[in-house]
């Protein structure tokens, strides 16, 4: 499982306790690292604090769900307002536990999440002759496998999840690059990469507005 919290003493204690309960635990102390680990490895569950450096827990769970990751997520937070809980669940979290919490309750909640039937894999996305399998992270054009970089695939997936809608460069920076101060022209560069690999007609430019896939 993946444990994400910026409180070092807490994560050390939880790693020891969860290890004693039979869990194998990876740790991240910020949201960006958590997303990178989740992209590279398959986890049975994610325990995720909300107040994190770089990307907060809401952003992390939202990005996980946007890219088709259905791993169960248990949010941790000192915030206990009903709107805080609702926001986390609406973004795709499976459970919510407020700090301070009982370790026994945390383990029980985790075991309950792991007993749930697995969620169906996200459906394959289709745009003309291009198909994208979010679970396998594979792209095909006319049935032939096309090798894309992780960033190219994330850009294509975001556009394909919004078919027919014009998506602006700033929105793409926010969701694909996490907008760490990058130039919006970077989006144009990567759209060019996609066109070279998949054909010029795959992504349509709407001048002065953004890009669109599909009608």
- Residue-level pLDDT at 179: 62
180: confidence class by pLDDT, cuts 50, 70, 90: low
Instruction: Please state the separation of Cα 86 from the chain's center in Å.
Output: 19
Higher pLDDT, 183 or 114: 114
What span, in angstroms and rounded, lies between the C-alpha atoms of 192 and 97? Answer: 44
Q: What is the pTM of this model?
A: 0.58
Q: Is 12 within a domain?
A: yes
- Give the model's pLDDT for residue 38: 93
- Within a domain: residue 120? no
Same-domain check for residues 29 and 102: yes
Going from the C-alpha of 194 to that of each of 21, 23, 49, 188, the distances in angstroms are 46, 40, 35, 10
Which CATH number characterizes residue 87's domain?
3.40.50.2300
CB 133 within 8 A of CB 156: no
Q: Is residue 190 a contact partner of residue 151, using CB atoms and an 8 Å limit?
A: yes
Position 188 scores a pLDDT of 94
User: How many other C-beta atoms lie within 10 A of the C-beta of residue 209?
Assistant: 11
**Region 40-63: what's the mean pLDDT?**
92
136-145 residue pLDDT tens: 788 999 889 9
Q: What is the CATH number of the domain that holds 167?
A: 1.10.10.10
Give 116 or 21, the one with higher predicted confidence. 21
Number of folded domains that form the chain: 2
Residues 200 and 129 in one domain: yes
Q: Which two tokens stand for residue 100?
A: 């301070």
Q: Is residue 88 part of a domain?
A: yes
| Res. 135: pLDDT tops 90 | no
For residue 76, what are the β-bridge partners? 49, 97
- Going from the C-alpha of 182 to that of each of 112, 114, 165, 169, 206, the distances in angstroms are 41, 39, 23, 11, 21
- What is the extent of the structural domain holding 200? 125-212
Residues 110, 7 share a domain: yes
pLDDT in tens, 87-110: 888 888 899 999 999 999 999 999
């Amino acid at each position: 499982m993946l444990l994400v919290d910026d409180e070092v003493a807490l994560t050390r204690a939880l790693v020891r306790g969860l290890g004693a309960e039979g869990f194998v635990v990876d740790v991240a102390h910020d949201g960006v690292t958590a997303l990178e680990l989740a992209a590279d490895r398959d986890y049975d569950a994610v325990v995720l604090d909300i107040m994190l450096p770089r990307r907060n827990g809401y952003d992390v769970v939202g990005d996980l769900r946007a890219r088709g990751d259905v791993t169960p997520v248990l949010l941790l937070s000192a915030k206990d307002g009903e709107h805080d809980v609702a926001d986390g669940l609406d973004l795709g979290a499976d459970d919510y536990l407020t700090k301070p919490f009982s370790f026994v309750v945390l383990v029980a909640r985790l075991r309950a999440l792991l007993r749930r039937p697995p969620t169906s894999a996200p459906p394959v996305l289709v745009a003309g002759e291009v198909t994208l399998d979010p679970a396998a992270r594979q792209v095909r054009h006319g049935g032939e496998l096309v090798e894309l970089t992780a960033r190219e695939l994330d850009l294509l997936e975001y556009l394909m999840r919004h078919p027919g809608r014009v998506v602006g460069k700033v929105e793409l920076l926010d969701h694909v690059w996490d907008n760490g101060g990058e130039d919006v022209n970077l989006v144009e560069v990567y759209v060019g990469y996609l066109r070279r690999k998949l054909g010029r007609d795959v992504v349509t430019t709407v001048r002065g507005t953004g890009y669109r896939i599909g009608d």
